[in-house]
């Protein structure tokens, strides 16, 4: 049970998952900018992609606190704090939203990275990664944005941009067996990071792991290891993943109230099974809310952003 619990904890690597999200953001947004580098379109789409769902969740948590006293973060429900949380400047109300504050701060960094790559090539971006990595050891920089935010893995966005532009070339170095072995090693690094203290060096290893996996998934679609990513259930959770991330602290809270841990202890339920059961219940609680948020908030506002872009294009053409 002790080994199983440590294994679950290792792969329940929250910070590692956030670092992976940062690399993936750099990769996907670089691909978007490669197709259309218009900065107005880029910032508009970023706004309609990130803010509506986050604001809806902050509003929901505020309402739940006012009505039922429910709390998943700090008791920060004065008008100014609510406004700052709605604008993703602070994350007192929903602690996991610190990563969205960093994501917003990284938006101009990604735009700059794509521009630098086009003008000056790969070496400049590696220099930027090295500079930001060195800064990740300096406390005032790491906590520059305040609150729960952590700028230590900020370079992960630039690594994602590099993964987009150079990933196809890098994957030519991998044969089928080596690619599979490298992917398994990257997954192992992720688990190692989850079992370790999140130092600057561990964050760098997690960034490397994420870049390898994203590069192989994007460029080596023939790999058997990644076929489960095409399952309908996995794609469903991929679609609702942003809303799921924003809402999952509520699911964890409800699961902890549903499960009577003291009774499980009396029944000598293994800790690892308790953790798995709690995770399953949290997923069940979070999924419907995440789907509704995706269906009625995320998707309509993403569509609205694209519609506004088409209207501007038609006005410019006329």
Mean pLDDT in the chain? 92
- 189-231 pLDDT, tens digit each: 999 999 999 999 999 999 999 999 999 999 988 899 999 999 9
At 173 the three-state DSSP class reads coil
Nearest one of 164, 169, 52 to 110, comparing CA atoms: 164
**Six-digit token pair at 293?**
């948020």
90 in Cβ contact with 101 (< 8 Å): yes
| C-alpha pair distances (Å), 92 with each of 101, 129, 142, 163, 185 | 12, 29, 18, 33, 36
Alpha-carbon span 267 to 153, nearest angstrom: 42
| Residue 114 exposed, middle or buried by CB count within 10 Å (0-12, 13-18, 19+) | buried
* Model pLDDT, residue 261: 63
What is the sign, positive or negative, of the torsion defined by CA atoms of 74, 80, 84, 86?
Answer: positive
Nearest one of 160, 98, 170, 103 to 129, comparing CA atoms: 160
Alpha-carbon span 70 to 80, nearest angstrom: 19
Provide block-wise average pLDDT over 10 residues at a time, the chain (318 residues): 82 93 97 92 94 97 94 89 95 94 96 96 96 97 92 98 94 90 95 93 97 95 91 96 97 87 67 85 96 97 89 68
Alpha-carbon span 53 to 88, nearest angstrom: 11
- 52-99 pLDDT, tens digit each: 999 999 999 999 999 999 998 888 899 999 999 999 999 999 999 999
């Amino acid at each position: 049970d002790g080994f199983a619990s440590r294994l679950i904890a290792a792969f329940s690597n929250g910070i590692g998952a956030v670092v992976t999200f940062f690399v993936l953001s750099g990769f996907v947004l670089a691909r978007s900018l490669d197709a259309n580098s218009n900065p107005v379109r880029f910032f508009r789409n970023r706004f309609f992609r990130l803010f509506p769902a986050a604001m809806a969740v902050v509003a929901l948590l505020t309402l739940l606190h006012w009505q039922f006293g429910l709390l998943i973060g700090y008791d920060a429900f004065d008008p100014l704090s609510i406004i700052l949380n709605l604008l993703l400047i602070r994350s007192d109300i929903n602690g996991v939203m610190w990563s969205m504050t960093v994501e917003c701060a990284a938006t101009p960094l990604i735009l700059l990275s794509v521009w630098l790559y086009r003008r000056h090539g790969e070496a400049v971006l590696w220099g930027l990664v090295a500079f930001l990595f060195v800064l990740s050891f300096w406390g005032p920089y790491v906590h520059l944005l305040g609150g729960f935010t952590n700028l230590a893995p900020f370079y992960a966005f630039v690594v994602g941009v590099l993964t987009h532009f150079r990933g196809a070339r890098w994957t030519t170095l991998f044969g089928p067996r080596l690619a599979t072995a490298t992917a398994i090693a990257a997954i192992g690094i992720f688990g190692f990071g989850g079992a370790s203290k999140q130092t600057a060096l561990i964050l760098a290893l997690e960034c490397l792991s994420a870049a390898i996996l994203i590069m192989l998934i994007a460029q080596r679609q023939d790999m058997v290891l990644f076929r489960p990513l095409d399952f309908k259930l996995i794609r469903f959770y991929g679609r609702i993943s942003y809303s799921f991330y924003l809402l999952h602290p509520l699911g964890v809270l409800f699961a902890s109230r549903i499960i009577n841990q003291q009774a499980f202890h009396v029944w000598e339920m293994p800790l690892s099974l308790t953790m798995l059961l709690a995770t399953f219940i949290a997923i069940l609680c979070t999924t419907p809310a995440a789907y509704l948020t995706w269906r009625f908030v995320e998707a309509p506002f993403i569509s609205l952003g694209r519609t506004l872009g088409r209207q501007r294009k038609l006005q410019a053409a006329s």
